[in-house]
Amino acid sequence: MTALPLSRRGFIGLTAMSTFLPRFAYAHEGHDTIVFVSDYLLKAAPPPGSYDIQIEPLYGNAEFLLRPTWEGPQPWLAEKVEEVDPLRWRITLKPGLSFQNGSPLNAEALKACLEYYRTSPENQGDAGAVLLGSPKALEVSGDLALDVVLDKPYPMLPFGCAHYAYLIFDAATVAAANGDFASLVDKGIFTGPFMWSTIEAGKITYKANETYWGGKPKLAGVEIRQVPDEQSGLQAIAAGEADVLAYPALALALAANGMPNVHYQVTDGVGFVGLLPNNTKAPFDDVRVRKALSLAINNDALAVGVGMGIGTAMKGWFPSSHELALDFMQHDPAQAEALLDEAGWAKGADGLRSKDGAALEARFYCYTAIGEGIATASADMLKQVGFVATVRRFEHYSEIPPVHEADGGIYTVYTESLGLNANPLGTMYSVFGTSYAGRKYADIKAILEPVQSSSDPVAIEAAMMAALQLNADNYYWLPTIDDKSRFVLSDRFKDMPLNPFYILVDATTAAAG
């Protein structure tokens, strides 16, 4: 297989904190347990293939076939993933693998897992097509070897094996649950060094997998404790009652500064906070209004005011230093007003615009703290050029697409660009290959689809640049600031290796001292 250059990284004011310190009903178990705090917890074991389960590698519960890195996919559960011929790939598992319940992970078990992903209604829908090249067959070719048979070449298949959508699990045990996914919590369905022990209100516990294929874990367990908010989580770490707050708000860095036992760590991210106007409904079905939206927003100001100097202003889909950078975001309110005038949105005495009796509305939808910060600040900027702008925060991301599709508006969402499997081409195709929630990008999809089966780096780069230009010309998907991976760590775990791929705890994780 021709190596793709895509596998190289180069290519491709808080309010005062309350003095109240929540006292958790547990004792910190010294060096035996790592304790996470979060303001959101699962209420039950979610279905394999669902988005909610994809965070499990963070806690050492689930693993992939290949490990994502900036240097390209590396062996993990699979010893190798190799091209037999353009229409056949062979996945060879490492010997001696087993699920946490003791069942062997061999080629037959892997086939059952991948078949589940292909056929299960719980699967997120695009994994088979986008990540493994829509296999027409899965054939066992040895005790540890599974062949993926394709209709057309798909050189990016190894990146699919390193994607968070493909956690490897015991499909036979899942099938036996007959849809009762909550019953899987103590069934050891994954392969990682730490396995679910309990999922209850306000607390999730994992115990060490004593028979882990990679060696006995150094920690006895992992806990996740729910806190009312991130400030409470920060205080818990400062008090020595917790160890990790993952992906906190950027603003928390200011509160963490100078606190004892608290280390706010930042590492490179793989995406940005994006604004997605529904381009099928007024007013954003008019490209002039979408362009006015982009011109009214000041990403440099967002990087300072919302990003707290940690987030960096984005000018295009990729960072400006990237080899494929195509900068198009610029701040020009006067040009924004001229475009809105041209589109027939007249400004009234109150400074707000309307046309044919309808107000020029920009409804922002968000579901995270950073998304809400971006949406609120952007709404204020849009008001300056005549929009009636509002912000609505949802409890869960799944609530937003139906509203966005039905009512229009702007979805404020975390957007992968470099990719959580370090594959910018596959990530871009996945993003623009969808058409739900009012987003229609058939023109970009048509450009990217043919090169999904190409190993020609020149053709791939040309297609990606053409797709980026279309996005820039049509203002479909607007970047604001990058979203770096962030962790608040206790003294005990301040030297823990970090990465942006949602992988953190493993068998070697240990407390300092």
Instruction: Determine the pLDDT at residue 435.
Output: 55
Average pLDDT over residues 189-197: 98
Beta strands in 278-382 (DSSP E): 346-347, 353-355, 358-359, 361-366
Mean pLDDT of 76-82: 98
Angle (CA) 359 362 363, round 5°: 115
Residue reference for tokens 């009796």: 357
User: How many whole angstroms separate alpha carbon 142 and alpha carbon 102?
Assistant: 21
Domains of the chain with bracketed CATH: 66-173 (3.90.76.10), 271-482 (3.10.105.10)
The rounded mean pLDDT for the chain is 88
Average pLDDT over residues 7-26: 30
pLDDT surpasses 80 at 466: yes
**pLDDT for the residue numbered 405:** 87
Report pLDDT for 398. Answer: 84
Instruction: Work out the average pLDDT over 495-509.
Output: 93
pLDDT above 60 for 15: no
Q: Which residues contact 164 (CB under 8 A, 6 or more apart)?
A: 54, 57, 64, 420, 421, 501, 502
| Rounded average pLDDT over 359-371 | 94
pLDDT class of 31 with cuts at 50, 70, 90: low
Using the predicted structure, report yes or no on whether residue 2 has a pLDDT greater than 60. Answer: no
Residue 248 is predicted with a pLDDT of: 87
Residue 112's pLDDT is what? Answer: 96
